[in-house]
Amino acid sequence: MDPEFRGDMDHHDGTSDALPGGYVEKRRPGELGFAVFLTVASLGLLYSAYGISGFKALSSPGSIPMATSLVMVISALVVAVRTARLPRVAGETLSKDILPMMVVVFVGFLVLFGVLLKPLGFLPTAALFLIAAFKLLSGKSWAHALTMAFVSLLVIWLVFRILFTVLLPAGIVPEAEFIQIFRNFFSGKG
């Protein structure tokens, strides 16, 4: 195994930590676009950082933001130029390897989760999300997805609501009353 090898997470069964993917000698689909985007965004940040306090003093609140955004602009530019020179990876497409439909769908799920969390409450939203996700990913029956969602949600709720005492939006479910029943049950009063 090459010590420089840091994992190619897309085409083998690799777990990753903070390991970046990508190839050293080749350019993946969209990589150049990303680098250009970073350069432009960094330029925007640099402009914004200049607006904080300009070149007033070395100790002004804007000096570190200006320095960091300048570093960002330069490094992003270097990356963009280097990337542009590399040959493209053969056989990879943006829709297949970088941004498959499944990822887009899940990002959509998560956005929806955020929208529904407050009005609907944690339990119904999480249940909907889990059922949809399990069904979509496992490709097994609805019964399977429903059972798995129910079991895992119950465990999560017990662990986090009771053990970690995390406050979650109750929404339409009368959660507090339910916990009270639960507590009474355990203290022998129920």
Partner 1 sequence: METLLAILTVFTQPQLLMLVGVGTFAGIYIGAIPGLSVTMAVSILISFTFSWEVLPAISLMVGIYMGGVYGGSRTAILLNIPGAPSAIATAMDGYPMAQKGAAGEAIGVTTVMSFFGGLIGILVLALAAPFVSEFALTFQPRDYMLLAVLGILLVGSLSSGSLVKGIFAGAFGIAIGAVGRDPLTFAERFTFDFKIMEGGISFIAVMIGMFGVSEALQQLQNVNMKSVRQKIDRIVPSFGTIRKYLPLSLQTSSIGVIIGALPGTGGDIAALMAYDHAKRVTKEPDVPFGEGAMEGLVAPETANNAAVGGAFIPMMTLGIPGDAVTAIMIGALFIHGLNPGPMLMIDQPDMFWFIVGALLTANVFMLIFGLTGIRIFTKIVEMPRSIIIPLILLLSIVGAYAVNNSITDVYWMLGFGVFGYFMRHYGYPLGPVILGVILSRLLDDNWRRAIISEREDLGRFFEGIVTSPLSLVLFVSVIMIFVSQTPLWTAMKNRLFGRATT
- Report the alpha-carbon distance of residue 9 to residue 17 in Å, rounded: 10
- Report the alpha-carbon distance of residue 69 to residue 43 in Å, rounded: 7
Tell me how far the alpha carbon of residue 131 is from its chain's centroid: 20
Residue from 93, 138, 180, 184 touching partner 1 (CB under 8 A): that is 138
From 127-135, 170-178, 182-190, give the range in contact with partner 1 by CB under 8 A.
127-135
Please report, as residue ranges, which positions from 44 to 103 form the binding site for partner 1 (by CB under 8 A): 45, 48-49, 52-53, 57-65, 68-69, 71-72, 75-76, 78-79, 82, 97-98, 100, 102-103
DSSP, residue by residue, 127-157: HHHHHHHHHHHH---HHHHHHHHHHHHHHHH
Residue from 36, 117, 128, 170 touching partner 1 (CB under 8 A): that is 117
Number of residues that bind partner 1 (CB under 8 A): 81
Query: Nearest Cα to 125, choosing from 111, 139, 144?
Result: 111
Does the footprint of partner 1 cover residue 10 (CB under 8 A)? Answer: yes
Both structure tokens of 175:
């959660």
Please report, as residue ranges, which positions from 143 to 182 form the binding site for partner 1 (by CB under 8 A): 148, 152, 156, 160, 164-168
Please compute Rg for the chain using Cα positions.
Answer: 24
Nearest distance in Å: CB 104, partner 1:
10
Does the footprint of partner 1 cover residue 129 (CB under 8 A)? Answer: yes
Nearer Cβ to partner 1, position 127 or 178?
A: 127
